[in-house]
Amino acid sequence: MLRKKLPFLHSLLSPVSRHVGHLTGHQYDVIVVGGGHAGTEAAAAAARVGAETLLITQKIHTIGALSCNPSLGGVGKGQLVKEVDALDGLCGRAGDWAGIHFSILNRRKGPAVWGPRAQLDRQRYRDFIQSELLSTPRLTVVEGSVEELLVTEPNPEEPGHHRVTGIRLANGSHAISARSVVLTTGTFLSGSLFVGQTTSPGGRIGDAPSSAGLSHTLRERLGLRTGRLRTGTPPRIVKDSVDLSLAKLHLPDSHPTPFSFLNTHTHCKPEEQLPCYLTFTTPGVERVVRESLQLNCHIQQDTKGPRYCPSIESRVLRFPGRSHQVWLEPEGVTSDLLYPQGLSMTMPPDIQLRLIREIPPMRRAEIHTPGYGVQYDFVCPTQLSPALQVKSTQGLFLAGQINGTTGYEEAAAQGLWAGANAARSALSMPTVTLSRTESYIGVLIDDLVSRGVTEPYRMFTSRAEFRTSLRPDNADLRLTPKGFEEVGCVSSVRYQESLRVRNSLQDALTALQALFLSTSSWKKKLPSVPISETKSTLLTGLDLLQYNDVTFEMLASAFPESLSSFMEFAQRLKIEAVYKPHCDLNKKEIERIQREENMSLPQDIDYFSLPVSLSDEVREILDRVRPSTLGAATRLEGITPAAVVNLLNYVRVTEKKKETHRNQRQQEAQRDEELCANSASLPQ
């Protein structure tokens, strides 16, 4: 349940926002650089695992700021939010607190691809995140700008060419030590802002630019391959200047669905939710775009932007003559601004005003803040391990847009996983990985580290091969036990709740399977359901629940003594029943992939001298990407099936030799122990 009361933030700032001068002699376990969605989740996760953590951000009051669209979730993205919540992350609960318009996207399709989404109140979301972070045990938050990483010689017992031991702040006088560092720089890594023909350094309007020294350290000192990406944001429109009667009203769901498994309802009451509005571009919009191209240097450059959230300039040039959707979305309960989703633009402000006034509801609209574009550096993510640690550098982890992704949800998912692993590494515990067979987070990370990016990466349900198993409704069953038992980032309270849910669902499924009746008997019990009586087969309650017209409530009404105690799980049981045949069919394929992912490939292997039949091209790919497992190698572009078989044989032979060597050493140790025991028993 949502019972959280936000304390006054100024009362929290004094104990956590230390002056940086007090930190120079302190040894932290983890330092997180950046206070965006990746950074906040990373810092919180590291602290939950048990690490003394320092979060460095340019401005504490912008922690949790929604830089672009004030929304959370969606198709594919909502699955990530549910998984972050299942691992005790922040964004799901923050969304439940700040949401002002909740809806489930894709409802006409199966529950596996439903997309939980919420429009957010910007201030409420920021307040919640700041309140959570600034009251988190073992977490210190300071304001500052990081100039460079502290780099030393590596630990010879671990793979890597360098080791990061801390950071130096931009004033050059303060060096802060840590065992692990997580970079979540977002669009601030050598960021440049674009409006019309004007360019200025920065990653977000109103914030100071980041130091160029950090990019230099990554490229020159650590030798990492970097690239350049771009994104943009639309102008913010004064709400009272828009005639919303000329747009199509879009109401929220009458019963809001919380993101968090810990919440039974949202902070915003159903009747207090705000609507959104839909309108469309006109030929006049296309005319303004084409007439102003020479005044827009951002759109003329070759830097790749997000394909699935393009600027209005890109949409017009790519799809001429079409009408494009524009959603007018509220920015908060008391906000006087609207966010025009679909109108990201970088033309001069006066041209932006001309453009939006070509859309009927905005004929007299006024712009509060103009749209702008951002270009920024990213690190090619194939240089990372599945733990999001830089392969060549001990103690350095990356998360968020620095890895070539786009979106709050993708950043939050990476941040949580990088932060948890950074903490485990700092505390001398092994890092952990998530398989693409068990989570969307695993799909996201595997896609990044195995395939890399050529444009900003966005999550879709189509990227997950086993999406019928990786549903929004079962993220707690899939990930919460792992988060508690293996990772250490989940609280005991959440873990116990997940066990209660798991046991209750299992008891309910057992009860359903125990209801074993003939079709004629079922027909008598459920006369309104079209059950064929021509077949003299026996059906269980679970079989019946797979029928489209059968709900768990109907079965509980027919068998109250067996099923009425499980009514709180009615929807989840219906979904479990519907997808059970699909999940059963997927089991063998999932087990095969998991076996391949359990076959590790040494990071120091010399692929060019490997005594295996591999082409030069395959050797070059393997040497460049250095996949951590055989499963990751199979997904690399250019790796042939024959190469996979040869690698598999090599791994098996190598593992067999290692096993033989281990057995020999154990036998020798056992003989030594027996000799010692015999010697001790001899008379002195």
Can you tell me the mean pLDDT for 90-98?
98
pLDDT value of residue 14: 44
Residue 136 pLDDT more than 60? yes
Rounded CA separation 592/3 (Å): 44
For residue 446, CA distances in Å to 62, 449, 591 come to: 31, 5, 17
- Is 606 found in the same domain as 583? no
Average pLDDT over residues 534-542: 83
Same domain? For 604 and 576 the reply is no
Is position 247 within any domain? no
Mean pLDDT of the 503-531 span: 92
- Summarised one tens digit per residue, pLDDT across range 406-448 is 999 999 999 999 999 999 999 999 999 999 999 999 999 999 9
pLDDT exceeds cutoff 80 at 594: no
- Which of 295-304, 471-480, 526-535 ranks highest by mean pLDDT? 471-480
User: Do residues 605 and 584 both lie within one domain?
Assistant: no
Q: Is the pLDDT of residue 574 over 60?
A: yes
> What is residue 670's three-state secondary structure?
helix
Residue type, 23: L
Query: Can you give the residue range of the structural domain that contains 668?
Result: 599-672
Nearest-angstrom CA–CA distance, 144 and 21: 11
What's the CA gap between 401 and 383, in Å, rounded? 15
Q: CA 454, CA 307: separation in Å to the nearest integer? A: 11
- 520 with 542, same domain: the answer is yes
Query: In this predicted structure, which of 9-13, 127-131, 451-455 has the lowest mean pLDDT?
Result: 9-13
Joined tokens for residue 224 = 């990492």
- pLDDT per residue over 200-227, tens digit each? 988 888 888 876 789 989 999 999 999 9
Residue 153's alpha-carbon distances to 158, 160, 183, 217, 367, in angstroms, are 11, 9, 20, 15, 53
Same domain, 552 and 605: no
Burial (CB < 10 A; 0-12, 13-18, 19+), residue 442, is buried
Please indicate, yes or no, whether residues 584 and 604 belong to a single structural domain of this protein.
Answer: no
pLDDT on residue 585? 83
Q: Is the pLDDT of residue 510 over 60?
A: yes
If asked whether residues 566 and 521 sit together in one domain, one would say yes
Number of domains in the chain: 2
Q: Is residue 665 part of a domain?
A: yes
pLDDT (0 to 100) of residue 228: 92
With bands split at pLDDT 50, 70 and 90, how would you rate the model's confidence at 382?
Answer: very high
Per the model's pLDDT, the better-predicted residue between 354 and 673 turns out to be: 354
The predicted structure's pLDDT at residue 535: 66
Helix 408-426 vs helix 37-49: crossing angle, to nearest 10: 30
The angle, 0 to 180 degrees and rounded to 10, between the axes of the packed helices 91-98 and 77-86 is: 110
The C-alpha atoms of residue 59 and residue 81 are separated, in whole angstroms, by 25
Q: What is the mean pLDDT of the chain?
A: 90
Mean pLDDT of 612-628: 86
Over 70: is that where the pLDDT of 172 sits? no
Q: Of 589, 608, 636, at which residue does a domain stop?
A: 589
Does residue 607 belong to any structural domain of this protein? yes
Q: What's the rounded mean pLDDT across residues 479-490?
A: 98
The reply to whether 534 and 603 lie within a common domain is no
Q: What is the mean pLDDT of residues 105-130?
A: 96
For residue 611, give the CATH number of its domain. 1.10.150.570
pLDDT digits (tens, 9 = 90+) for 6-41: 554 545 544 455 556 667 668 999 999 999 999 999
Domain boundary among 562, 589, 616: 589
The answer on pLDDT for 308 being more than 70 is: no
Considering the domain boundaries, does residue 70 fall inside one?
Answer: no
Q: Name which residue leads in pLDDT, 611 or 388.
A: 388
- Which among 399, 431, 425, 422 is positioned nearest to 412, based on CA atoms? 399
Q: Are residues 613 and 549 in the same domain?
A: no
Confidence of residue 649 (pLDDT cuts 50, 70, 90): confident
The reply to whether 63 falls in a domain is no
In the listed set 589, 618, 638, which residue is the last one of a domain according to the structure? 589
Instruction: Tell whether 581 and 631 lie within a shared domain.
Output: no
Q: Give domain status of residue 574, yes or no.
A: yes
Same domain, 544 and 603: no
Answer whether residue 549 is part of any domain. Answer: yes
> In 3D, which of 609, 618, 625 has the Cα closest to residue 391?
625
Q: What is the pLDDT of residue 679?
A: 65
Same domain for 572 and 625, yes or no, is no
Q: Is 101 exposed, middle or buried (0-12, 13-18, 19+ CB in 10 A)?
A: buried
Is residue 652 situated within a structural domain?
yes
